[in-house]
Structure 1
Amino acid sequence: MDTLTIRPMALADCERVAEIRVTGRRHAYRGLMPQADLDGLSVEADAESRRAHFTRPDDPTTHLVAERAGQVVGWASTGPYRDGRTLTRDAELYALYADPAHLGTGVGRALLAEALARSTAHPRMLLWVLRDTRAPRFYERAGFRPDGAEDGMSVPEVRYVRCQLRCC
């Protein structure tokens, strides 16, 4: 298998990241979300949203991509944890997607490791996952634990946390 490289996302990666996000959602959320919602996801709309978000000068978000053999195969996004509209001292993993064709090849683990490494100044990293996916097990293996917070009615989400500092 070719070497996996994690690097900062570039504007030119927006289309490929959108493809990964859309195919990743359709794969991970099949049977959990209404199929019409998944079918309605648009790579073009997502790419446009990525470009607009990516080019905001005041955006505190870090975007990373995983690249193998010159092709982007995964994407992660982190930034300050959002408590409503307030940004906190904690970090949040906003999203992590691997191309479904590359699941189980270390893409997600490598992206998560780099996201954690870039967030060590924050006391904790938090994230939200859909309860009935494979994601909870993935994050638990990486040291995250549910903290009791839940959200969502028809598609339950659970918040996970990992302490970054020894004092947590």
Structure 2
Amino acid sequence: MVRIRRAGLGDLPGVAQVLVDTWRATYRGVVPEAFLEELSYEGQADRWARGLRDPTWPGRLFVAEAGEVVGFAAFGPDRASGFPGYTAELWAIYVLPTWQRKGLGRALFHEGARLLQAEGYGRMLVWVLKENSQGRGFYEHLGGVLLGEREIELGGAKLWEVAYGFDLGEQKW
């Protein structure tokens, strides 16, 4: 049985493990190896803890729990994407590879999008690496509309991200 719920400080070691393990599995050969190796469980847990401890942090963090954290998603205000009308953003969503394709990503997405809609947000976007065909397929399956792309730098490498937009009132997901 998997439960989707708001995350607390005690969940952060699991959140960090999901992020690091998923990045290493998904982006090996896409982003520089040194960047992936520099990711650490402690560093990621500390990063999320700073947000959760800050009463002004605008994020909403959810976990998928099955005895342990097996996935998570973070949502919040748009971080200056440049797409008018997209005021909310899916900052991150990751599910351990062994738990993928079981509906957890969709459940995490739905929970955060539902909360954002209840808070008055109308449209949300997400950025995904252009070479991440599995991630892009996930967003397209949920009804995401391709908005544009931008160049970013990760670990000294120049990569491309694409943005997908969602109308939170349509609930195709």
Return the TM-score normalized by structure 2.
0.87
Residue 89 of structure 1 and its aligned partner are, at CA, apart by 6.6
**What is the distance in 2 between the residues matched to 1:48 and 1:80?**
21
Mapped pair 1:80 → 2:77: yes
**What is the distance in 1 between the residues matched to 2:136 and 2:86?**
24
Alignment partner, residue 97 of structure 1:
94
Any runs of at least 4 consecutive aligned residues in structure 1 with deviations exceeding 3 A, and if so which?
Answer: none
Residue 152 of structure 1 and its aligned partner are, at CA, apart by 2.2
Alignment partner, residue 164 of structure 1:
168
Residue 10 of structure 1 and its aligned partner are, at CA, apart by 0.7
Q: What percent of counterpart residues are identical? A: 36
Return the TM-score normalized by structure 1.
0.89
Higher helix fraction (1 or 2): 2
Residue 40 of structure 1 and its aligned partner are, at CA, apart by 1.4
**What is the distance in 2 between the residues matched to 1:89 and 1:135?**
20
SS at 1:74 equivalent: strand
Q: Is the 8 A contact 2:73 2:108 kept in 1?
A: yes
Alignment partner, residue 34 of structure 1:
32
Alignment partner, residue 123 of structure 2:
124
Alignment partner, residue 4 of structure 1:
2
Consecutive unaligned residues of structure 1, counting only runs of 5 or more, are none
What amino acid is the match of 1:29?
A: Y
**What is the distance in 2 between the residues matched to 1:36 and 1:106?**
32
Alignment partner, residue 47 of structure 1:
45
- The alignment's C-alpha RMSD in Å is 1.8
Alignment partner, residue 54 of structure 2:
56
- Deviation sequence 1:62-104 (CA, Å, 0-9, x none): 0000112x211111000111217xxx87210000011122111
Q: Is the 8 A contact 2:63 2:71 kept in 1?
A: yes
**What is the distance in 2 between the residues matched to 1:34 and 1:155?**
10
**What is the distance in 2 between the residues matched to 1:164 and 1:103?**
24
